[in-house]
Amino acid sequence: MRHLISIDDLTDAELRGIASRGAEFSAGLAAPSAPLAGQVVGVYFAKTSTRTRTAFSSGSLRLGGSLIAYGPGDLQLNTGETTEDTGRVLSGMLDVLVARTAGPEAELRGWAAQDRMSVVNAMGAEEHPTQALTDLTTLVRHFGRIDGLRILYAGEGNNTAAALALALTRFPGVEFEVRTPPGYGLTASVLERAHARAARSGARLVERHDMDDLPEGFDVVYTTRWQTTGTSKPDADWRDIFAPFQVTAELWRTSPGAVFMHDLPAHRGEEVTADVLDGPRSIAFAQATNKMHSAMAVLEYVRAPAAVADPEPLSVRGVRDGLVAAR
Ligand code: CP
């Protein structure tokens, strides 16, 4: 029985194993099995979701589990029951709880303060770990590797950016160039942890608060929508501050081979122009489908860990096992 609340909960081998297993599901190479047979998965979303909620619901059913869905108004949390008491009670009836609270990580740790029910963070205030795992699977499917990729992230230093920084800095040779609007960067805690990871692995993380002097030849350009789910911005003129960080076709002048990724939902004309999101370099919608494949790998990780134990280098698996998508 395991939880997945932060990318930092995972060892390097576990991170690689989940990315690799997600790619197996995505490539249709995972042998049919029902590791969740006889188990019940609760899916509690206090905030809106199209992809993550459906990915974990569909993924649970495909792995043989049964499902109970809770919306924002359903639990007695609303009337003051503590997260610890809620976790304790639900753990007597559920095997997994997938929760999007958009609240602090401590809340999820409260749900996890029992030893029977796995808790999965489907997006909190600090981190969106299952998004980063989806993105690693998408990179494996597209490039057959993660090591050595050069990735530009332009936009808010939100929970998706945080999870990506914590995940990508585990991979040798990765260059993660983060460009965030002033006042909307990665937190000091994420920067400190990600830099420590990078120093150990040989990855590189740079954050700046402008779009000047961009290096050339990125493999990936990534953005997220400017209005992160469950948050609001304190300053009235935030759109002016964000405007220079919009992803446009101009970025492909110096990175012609880059693919475009976006965790979605997107607002065309805000964080990205329509010609980029809907253009030939975009893999954003394949990335969205990979949420389900990655969710299945996460569900196996928390309930059937042997299936995701794969410490082999992803570059070896990607090529040998045909995980790379045809293009
Ligand atoms: N990217 C993502 O988490 O999408 P949803 O908010 O629709 O789940």
- Quickly name the fold that domain 129-286 has: Rossmann fold (3.40.50)
Q: Which of 291, 292, 294, 298 to mutate to test the pocket of ligand 1 (most atoms within 8 A of CB)?
A: 291
Structure confidence at residue 264 (pLDDT): 98
Does 285 have pLDDT greater than 80? yes
Q: What percent of the chain has pLDDT over 90?
A: 87
Distance from C-alpha of 312 to C-alpha of 219, rounded to nearest angstrom: 23
Does 120 have pLDDT greater than 90? yes
Distance from C-alpha of 32 to C-alpha of 30, rounded to nearest angstrom: 6
DSSP for residue 211: -
Does 201 have pLDDT greater than 80? yes
Does 222 have pLDDT greater than 90? yes
CA of 199 to the centre of ligand 1 (A): 31
Question: Do 129-286 and 7-127+292-311 have the same topology in CATH?
Answer: yes
Q: Ligand 1 pocket, 26 CB below 6 A?
A: no
- Quickly name the fold that domain 7-127+292-311 has: Rossmann fold (3.40.50)
Residue 305: which pLDDT band, with cuts at 50, 70 and 90?
Answer: confident
The predicted model gives 9-35 an average pLDDT of 95
111-to-19, 64, 88, 160, 317 alpha-carbon distances in Å: 25, 24, 7, 22, 35
Structure confidence at residue 319 (pLDDT): 56
Q: Which of 54, 226, 264, 294 to mutate to test the pocket of ligand 1 (most atoms within 8 A of CB)?
A: 264
Q: Which amino acid is at 21?
A: R
Q: Ligand 1 pocket, 273 CB below 6 A?
A: no
Does 108 have pLDDT greater than 80? yes
Q: Ligand 1 pocket, 100 CB below 6 A?
A: no
Domain boundaries, the chain: 7-127+292-311, 129-286
The answer to whether the beta carbons of residues 41 and 98 sit under 8 Å apart is: yes
The predicted model gives 132-161 an average pLDDT of 97
Structure confidence at residue 1 (pLDDT): 86
Strands 175-179 and 259-262: unpaired
* pTM to 2 decimal places: 0.95
